[in-house]
Amino acid sequence: MGGPFRGFGVPQVTAAMEQTVDMMAKSLGISPLDIRVKNALRRGDRNPAGTTLTGSTGIGECLRKISASRLWQESETWKKASPPFKKRGAGLASAMQGMGYGPLIPDTANAKIELTQEGLFRVFCGVVDMGQGNASTYLQIAGEILNQGLSGMELVLPDTARTLPSGSSSASRTTFTYGNALITASKTMKKRLLERASDLLMAKGPEEMTLVPGRVRHIPSGKEMPLSALAGILSDAERTSVARYRTPSAKDSPTRDPNLSLHGIPHIVFSYAAHAAFVEVDTLTGLTEVKGFLAVTDCGRVLNPQIFEQQIQGGIAQGLGYALCEELKTDRGVIRTPDLGTYIIPTSIDLPDMESAAVELHEEMGPFGLKGAGEIAMNGPFAAVANAIADACGIRIFEGPMTPERVLGALEKKPSCQEEG
């Protein structure tokens, strides 16, 4: 089986572009960090696809956070303390990832929320949680609007008989797209409940009402009605709220230059990241060990710090596998690495200490200001490791994975350790 993989082509392009940036910096006599900071995109800039960036654009802040980090500031001292026959290096990479499918495919989600007869809010989710934790975030979003704790919420995961079509769990879109639909559905539900409760409790209007866990309260008098009692009065239609959201795309944007032709599938909202890899290369065997890794990510507001950290570290792990050991080998159309005994992925023992940090720039189009974080962490590790190897040994490897054999071969061809740039 084959198909799209995390990052959807961006890690491959980033691997080439970010090594080229380092090579340009060397030719110009400036540092890899400085060349990136000087050329970092800002809100209002136009990207190469011709799209004006109207959303949050935090790559500059990500790079500055890398620069201020302890790992980066101590890297020169760390590199000088390398053991015999080993060389140490530090490498940078910038990365970006578009939100959603882009303008050529309708990117929609349909959210449904129901007040059950028991007084619980049941969220019907049509996008799959494959372990990334977005299901927990959906309950947080609805709970925030309806002022309910997790004990007052239920979640129905994708089921063609019960949930509504909401697209695939891909393209860094699930929480962004479905989350926006869920916000609208939850606000509609809240408005309807407060209006009906205000009549039942003889309030002057819904502005005197508020939702509290398990109940609706009349603020001036303190009188309360259980949500289960309110649900018993409402019709099935009144207890249900449905909303649809369509992700905007660059093609729809009034800022897009009509004189520019459409290249690729431009997006209008992006997540950004800056990655730093710290490697140790054994010059006798070619083995490259990543001793530390730092990722700073602009994915908007972080609603769940634990899920954010897990997403970023999981992406780094996959990116390091792509960089150092994962290789699909074929022989006349026959796959020679069909299982995990031959297709080597990194395990927890192989992974370095990973640090992740966020640049929380509010994204106006995102639910509660967030952007997708599912793919962005996959895009930078290959380039960061490749640049770190070049910093350590002065060699460039343009074929992945960067196995000991390839590193040793490059070292033998360049005994003077002079980088070709």
pLDDT (0 to 100) of residue 259: 67
In this structure, are 120 and 97 located in the same domain?
no
Q: HSE-up of 13 (CA within 13 Å, CB side)?
A: 7
**C-alpha dihedral sign at 250, 297, 174, 382:** positive
Q: What is the pTM of this model?
A: 0.90
- The answer for 14, left when phi > 0, alpha when psi is -120 to 50, beta otherwise, is alpha
Considering the domain boundaries, does residue 419 fall inside one?
A: no
Q: Which domain holds residue 129?
A: 108-246
For 23-67, the pLDDT digits (tens) are 999 999 999 999 999 999 999 998 777 778 888 999 999 999 999
In this structure, are 198 and 142 located in the same domain?
yes
- Which of 211, 246, 281 is where one domain is finished? 246
344-370 burial: b if 16+ Cβ within 10 Å, else e? bebeeeeebebbbbbbbbebebbbbbb
pLDDT (0 to 100) of residue 52: 82
Considering the domain boundaries, does residue 27 fall inside one?
A: yes
In this structure, are 273 and 348 located in the same domain?
yes
Overall average pLDDT of the 145-169 stretch: 95
**C-alpha dihedral sign at 27, 29, 32, 35:** negative
In this structure, are 290 and 321 located in the same domain?
yes
In this structure, are 307 and 377 located in the same domain?
yes
Considering the domain boundaries, does residue 321 fall inside one?
A: yes
In this structure, are 113 and 196 located in the same domain?
yes
Contact 51, 18 (CB under 8 A): no
268/228: higher pLDDT:
228
- Which of 217, 246, 275 is where one domain is finished? 246
Closest CA to 176 of 103, 261, 246, 255: 246
pLDDT (0 to 100) of residue 1: 43
> Is residue 15 within a helix (H) or strand (E), and if so which, with residue range?
helix 10-28
In this structure, are 220 and 276 located in the same domain?
no
240-246/224-226 β-pairing: unpaired
Give the whole-angstrom CA distance, residue 406 versus residue 397: 8
Could you say which DSSP state residue 346 is in? -
Overall domain count for the chain: 2
Check which CATH number belongs to the domain holding 25 and give it: 3.30.365.10
Overall average pLDDT of the 113-130 stretch: 95
As annotated, the active-site residues are 375
pLDDT (0 to 100) of residue 336: 95
Residue 417 confidence class, pLDDT cut points 50, 70, 90: very low
Could you say which DSSP state residue 370 is in? B
In this structure, are 152 and 234 located in the same domain?
yes
Mean pLDDT of the chain: 92
CB atoms under 10 Å from CB of 42, counted, come to 10
- Which of 246, 280, 308 is where one domain is finished? 246
